[in-house]
Amino acid sequence: MTDIIAISDASIRRASDILAAGGLVAFPTETVYGLGANACDGDAVAGIFQAKDRPNFNPLISHIANAETAFQLGVETDFATVLANCFWPGPMTLVLNRTNDCPVAMLTTAGLDKIALRVPAHEQAQKLLAICDMPIAAPSANPSGRISPSTAYHVYAGLAGKIDLILDGGPCENGLESTIIDCSGEAPVLLRPGGISRGAIETVLHSAGLHCRLGDAAALSDRGQPVAPGQLQSHYAPDASVRLNATSQQGDEELIGFGPIPGAGQLSLSLSQSGNIKQAAANLFSMLHQANAVTTGTNRRIAIAPIPKDGIGEAINDRLQRAAAPRNAPSGATK
Ligand code: TXA
Ligand code: MG
């Protein structure tokens, strides 16, 4: 059975006991809800892969309370120091080489010698990490390949019966996953656009005297080099099909609007009527869930208005393209 309870000091203590005993707990962060297990306990982490039905070549992010702890698990580099100082705690994940004595289970990093690390800013997530005193492996708390959860109810709808506890902390503020940057090499590489924009990262690196452009994961993967193995082409997929850059509704589509293009269909949703990109990011997954829930029949269709590509618009468009991608994309298509 899966309990869903309001997040509080008492429920955080209960969550910590469950995690210490090898159980699975979903918890809120400022990006999306995570499905947590003790990152150092391979059996517990295996439970995450099972509950999500996630391919085990796809590594998990380890969450820790501060940068100091992060750099005990991953080898600190100049790029990592600068970015950690500026963006942690917050919606940024750094990929680093595992330290020699890194206690995190190899399953957590899917057998890779690199580890993904994040220090979330969410106050309650911070409390959980402080009280647990262990790194918590946590992917987004959704069945693999489906829409990410920005509320506790989304988690319940996708994973009830498969996990022990859901801590309900209300809707996530950002609503979009963290930006992932590989800082282990000679130049940093953007593996997944997210809550912090490419421009903001480059500005911070430049002002610290680290003059470089952020490498692109797609370019690396074209050269046959491994990138974020979880960046599958079809991801964030609702049951309904998704049509992008829609300027008007076709047939019985549920059209999600943005700015001057109004929503249409049963819900008439708009990611942001005022064209505010941050608001659009916060609403994205929630509105995909809602639109998916009201479409019925065999030909379920969602359409989405064009979203500008600059700033965090890059991350929104990344998620939308994956939501709209053909569903049976081969697992090797790791872009
Ligand atoms: O905002 C977030 O990042 C949320 C919250 C819960 O922290 N987590 C999240 O996890 O989005 P997940 O598992 O849905 O996405 C993590 C991504 C995957 O694409 C995975 O392949 C990549 O991070 N990743 C994890 N470890 C990696 C590593 N060692 N090297 C390269 N990519 C890695
Ligand atoms: Mg995910």
**Ion ligand 2: protein residues whose beta carbon lies under 5 Å:** 140
In-domain check, residue 227: no
- Between CA 20 and CA 108 the distance in angstroms is 16
Q: Tell me the pTM.
A: 0.91
In-domain check, residue 335: no
Q: Beta partners for 15?
A: none
- Between CA 277 and CA 191 the distance in angstroms is 21
Range of 175's domain? 3-216
In-domain check, residue 226: no
Sequence-distant (6+) residues with CB within 8 A of 131 are: 12, 13, 16
Closest ligand to C-alpha of residue 96 is 1
Question: Are residues 180 and 306 both part of a single domain?
Answer: no
In-domain check, residue 232: no
- Between CA 116 and CA 200 the distance in angstroms is 20
Atom of ligand 1 nearest to the CA of 91: 1
Question: Are residues 247 and 193 both part of a single domain?
Answer: no
pLDDT attached to residue 330: 44
Question: Are residues 169 and 247 both part of a single domain?
Answer: no
Domain end point (choices 216, 231, 257): 216
Amino acid at 274: S
Residue 301 phi, psi (nearest 5): -135, 135
Question: Are residues 312 and 208 both part of a single domain?
Answer: no
Domain end point (choices 181, 216, 251): 216
Question: Are residues 177 and 77 both part of a single domain?
Answer: yes
Mean pLDDT of the chain: 92
At 74 the three-state DSSP class reads strand
Question: Are residues 166 and 71 both part of a single domain?
Answer: yes
Question: Do the Cβ atoms of 179 and 91 come closer than 8 Å?
Answer: yes
Amino acid at 85: N
Give the tens place of pLDDT for each residue, 21-69.
Answer: 999 999 999 999 999 999 999 999 999 999 999 988 899 999 999 999 9
In-domain check, residue 332: no
pLDDT attached to residue 223: 61
pLDDT band at 220 (very low <50, low <70, confident <90, very high): low
To which residue do tokens 């899917």 refer? 110
DSSP state of 25: E
pLDDT attached to residue 221: 65
- Between CA 119 and CA 136 the distance in angstroms is 10
Question: Do the Cβ atoms of 94 and 183 come closer than 8 Å?
Answer: yes
Give the tens place of pLDDT for each residue, 273-325.
Answer: 999 999 999 999 999 999 999 987 777 899 999 999 999 999 999 999 989 98
Enter the tokens of residue 257: 């609007």
> Cα(263) to centroid of ligand 1, in Å?
31
> Cα(115) to centroid of ligand 1, in Å?
10
List strand residue ranges (DSSP E) for 13-122, in order.
25-27, 34-38, 61-63, 92-97, 114-118
Question: Are residues 93 and 163 both part of a single domain?
Answer: yes
Residue 146 phi, psi (nearest 5): -100, 180
Closest residue CA from atom 17 of ligand 1: 230
In-domain check, residue 329: no
Domain of 97, CATH number, reads: 3.90.870.10
Question: Are residues 272 and 306 both part of a single domain?
Answer: yes
Question: Are residues 12 and 116 both part of a single domain?
Answer: yes
Question: Are residues 100 and 211 both part of a single domain?
Answer: yes
Question: Are residues 156 and 105 both part of a single domain?
Answer: yes
Overall number of domains in the chain: 2
Atom of ligand 1 nearest to the CA of 33: 6
Residues with CB under 6 A from ligand 1: 29, 31-32, 34, 58-61, 91, 93, 95, 109, 112, 114-116, 118, 138-140, 177-178, 180, 191-192, 228-231
Pocket test for ligand 1, best of 49, 142, 180, 184 (most atoms within 8 A of CB): 180
Question: Are residues 202 and 257 both part of a single domain?
Answer: no
Question: Do the Cβ atoms of 48 and 139 come closer than 8 Å?
Answer: yes
In-domain check, residue 95: yes
Domain end point (choices 164, 181, 216): 216
In-domain check, residue 221: no
